[in-house]
């Protein structure tokens, strides 16, 4: 009897290796190599492996790109405009969407609401490998959802799932969760790297060949990544993360990957007794309970996907009573803060070696956009001098090492969002000063070319 082949996979990046090692050579992570037995796949003699393009069309020989038939992306709109925004304008037929999040964050609740409402017009199949049918029905009853046309199934075998789906022919299918699904063709345990990868591959093949949109729920590890190989995220069309650790009242659905829409698009939902309620104006949420006339607070306009979003940045500068000054950054990169402090010392003259510096993004968001540079520096200077910034002032702009203020993308869209929230003035890069009168007449725009110019304007007022 032939011995099963043993291969090794990295739990972090999904790369395959012929032997075990303490460190992954691809992603450089330690103690992530796991052993997985594999079953050899036999192909009958005289047959060739065919590559599926879209639908039922197949090709075993190369063809030019202009000969490939173009399929229109038929999108199915839900009753949640925020959910449709994250997906890029609705659910695309034949797409595979992976949704991850912490346990209890509301992944199943959100999807149950979406598909229950859609089941009145679409043929939908909800497959659960964790909950019983009674638990799903009780959730629908608690959320006052219609259940008469929502098909439910409890199954964990991928072949049984595919067989029932072929009989039911749903237009949308939900699999909750991928870690509970297994295949008889794989000898490893349920939830292992090989099982997760192979079961997801079968779901992808079924979705593409039957034009069925498949939602796959995935568990996350303690470091926030979806459990299983990272190749799982590469196999699907869209990866969504449901975040809710910053505020128990709200949930943020973020698009990490999307082949049919913008990346980093977000939707905000409020967690209530009746389930998830969409928030159409998330900027207002992040600016609630803002204290007036407090030094170290400023509002900045960032870009999350295609949406401008206003958030508050708070900074605190205090005398250091230890040998080394403290620098704490929550929501922004620590190295970025260190660089901004060096710019503040060099071009403004703020002493940094005798002070402790703290910067926080209110609301628990994590921002990587460089448009927050000018706002962070002005918040630090405001706290250092104990001079409050005006409540109706908006600040954004990238700051270089030489102290110059550089323009950012979509400056006018940020100003329009500030107008909707009632802001009266804005300090922005000179290159972002709008030329159209529709923005100039409604908000006092101050264009600056350097950090010292922005500080000087703030100090003079």
pLDDT value of position 40: 47
> Poorest-confidence range of 240-249, 293-302, 331-340, 379-388?
240-249
pLDDT at residue 43 greater than cutoff 50? no
C-alpha dihedral (53, 58, 62, 67), degrees to nearest 10: -70
- Asked if residue 246 lies in contact with residue 365, where contact means CB atoms within 8 angstroms, the answer is yes
Q: What is the pLDDT of residue 122?
A: 93
Of the chain, the end-to-end C-alpha distance in Å amounts to 85
**Contact residues for 108 (Cβ-Cβ < 8 A; gap 6+):** 131, 139, 176, 217
Model pLDDT, residue 37: 59
Task: Return all residues near 31 (Cβ < 8 A) that are at least 6 apart.
Answer: 22
pLDDT in tens, 367-407: 989 999 999 999 999 999 999 999 999 999 999 999 999 99
CATH class of 76-280: alpha beta
Tens digit of each residue's pLDDT (9 = 90 or more) over 428-461: 999 999 886 555 557 899 999 999 999 998 877 6
Helices (H) and strands (E) in the chain, counts: 12, 25
In the numeric block, the tokens 């958030």 are attached to 311
Three-state secondary-structure class, residue 159 = helix
Report the DSSP pairing between strands 172-176 and 124-128: parallel
pLDDT given at position 221: 63
Q: CATH code for 285-460?
A: 3.30.230.10
Q: Tens digit of pLDDT for each residue in 11-31?
A: 766 677 878 888 888 778 888
- Position 388 scores a pLDDT of 93
Question: Tell me, what's the pLDDT at 42?
Answer: 42
Strand partners, 125: 151, 173
**In the chain, domain spans:** 5-38, 76-280, 285-460
Instruction: Report how far Cα 256 is from the mean position of its chain's Cα atoms.
Output: 4
CB 139 within 8 A of CB 108: yes
Q: Is the pLDDT of residue 105 over 70?
A: yes
* Local structure of residue 290 (DSSP, 8 states): P
Q: In the prediction, which pLDDT does 44 show?
A: 41
With contact defined as beta carbons under 8 Å apart, do 126 and 174 qualify? yes
Residue 227: the pLDDT is: 53
**pLDDT value at residue 264:** 85
E strand or H helix that includes residue 301: strand 297-304
Is the per-residue pLDDT at 1 higher than 70? Answer: no
Q: Which of 54-63, 129-138, 199-208 has the lowest mean pLDDT?
A: 54-63
* Residue 53 confidence (pLDDT) above 60: no
CB contact at 8 A, 353 and 341 = no
**What CA–CA distances, in Å, run from 35 to 2, 9, 231, 234, 298?**
19, 7, 16, 21, 51
């Amino acid at each position: 009897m032939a011995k099963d082949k043993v291969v090794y996979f990295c739990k972090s990046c999904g790369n395959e290796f012929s032997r075990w090692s303490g460190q992954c050579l691809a992603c450089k992570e330690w103690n992530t190599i796991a052993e997985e037995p594999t079953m050899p796949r036999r192909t009958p003699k005289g047959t060739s492996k065919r590559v599926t393009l879209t639908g039922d069309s197949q090709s075993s020989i190369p063809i030019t790109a202009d000969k490939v038939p173009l399929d229109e992306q038929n999108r199915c709109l839900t009753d949640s405009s925020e959910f449709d925004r994250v997906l890029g304008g609705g659910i695309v037929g034949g797409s595979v969407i992976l949704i991850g999040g912490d346990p209890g964050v509301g992944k199943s609740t959100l999807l149950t609401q979406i598909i229950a409402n859609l089941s009145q017009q679409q043929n939908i199949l909800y497959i659960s490998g964790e909950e019983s049918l009674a638990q799903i029905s009780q959730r629908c009853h608690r959320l006052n959802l219609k259940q008469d046309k929502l098909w439910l199934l409890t199954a964990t075998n991928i072949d049984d799932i595919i067989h029932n789906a072929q009989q039911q022919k749903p237009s949308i299918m939900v699999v909750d969760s991928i870690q509970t699904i297994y295949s008889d063709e794989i000898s490893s345990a349920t939830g292992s790297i090989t099982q997760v990868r192979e079961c997801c591959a079968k779901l992808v093949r079924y979705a593409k060949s039957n034009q069925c949109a498949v939602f796959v729920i995935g568990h996350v590890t303690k470091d926030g990544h979806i459990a299983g190989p990272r190749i799982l995220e590469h196999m699907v069309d869209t990866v969504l993360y449901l975040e809710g650790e910053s505020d128990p009242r709200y949930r943020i659905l973020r698009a990490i990957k999307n082949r049919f829409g913008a990346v980093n698009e977000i939707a905000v939902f409020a967690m209530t007794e009746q389930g998830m309620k969409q928030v159409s104006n998330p900027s207002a949420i992040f600016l609630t309970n803002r204290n007036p006339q407090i030094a170290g607070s400023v509002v900045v306009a960032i870009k999350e996907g295609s949406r401008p979003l206003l958030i508050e940045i708070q900074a605190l500068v205090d005398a250091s009573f230890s040998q080394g000054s403290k620098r704490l950054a929550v929501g922004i990169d620590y190295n970025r803060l260190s660089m901004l402090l060096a710019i503040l010392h060099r071009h403004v003259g703020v002493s940094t070696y005798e002070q402790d510096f703290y910067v926080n993004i209110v609301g628990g968001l994590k921002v990587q956009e460089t448009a927050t540079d000018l706002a962070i520096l002005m918040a630090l200077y405001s706290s250092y001098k104990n001079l409050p910034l005006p409540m109706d002032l908006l600040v954004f702009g990238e700051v270089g090492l030489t102290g110059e203020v550089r323009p950012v993308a979509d400056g006018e869209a940020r100003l329009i969002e500030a107008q909707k929230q009632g802001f009266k003035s804005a300090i922005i890069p000179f290159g972002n000063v709008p030329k159209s009168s529709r923005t100039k007449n409604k908000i006092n725009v101050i264009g600056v070319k350097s950090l010292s110019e922005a500080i000087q304007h703030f100090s003079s007022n």
